[in-house]
Amino acid sequence: MNVLLAGGAGYIGSHTAVELLNAGHQVVIVDDYSNSSPEAVHRVEKITGKSINSYEADVKDKEKMRHIFSENHIDCVIHFAGLKAVGESVRLPLKYYRNNIDTTLTLLDCMEEAGVNQFVFSSSATVYGEENKPPYVETMHRGSCSNPYGWTKVMMEQILEDAAKANPKLSVILLRYFNPIGAHESGLIGEDPQG
Q: What pLDDT is attached to residue 178? A: 78
Give mean pLDDT, residues 30-44. Answer: 94
What is the percentage of the chain residues whose pLDDT exceeds 70? 92
What is the percentage of the chain residues whose pLDDT exceeds 90? 79
Q: Summarize pLDDT for 47-92 with one digit per residue, the tens.
A: 999 999 999 999 999 999 999 999 999 999 999 999 999 999 999 9
User: Can you give the pTM of this predicted structure?
Assistant: 0.92
Distance (Å, whole) CA 105 – CA 167: 15
Residues designated catalytic: 149
Q: Summarize pLDDT for 98-148 with one digit per residue, the tens.
A: 999 999 999 999 999 999 999 999 999 999 998 898 898 888 899 899 999
Whether the pLDDT of residue 44 is over 80: the answer is yes
Whether the pLDDT of residue 188 is over 80: the answer is no
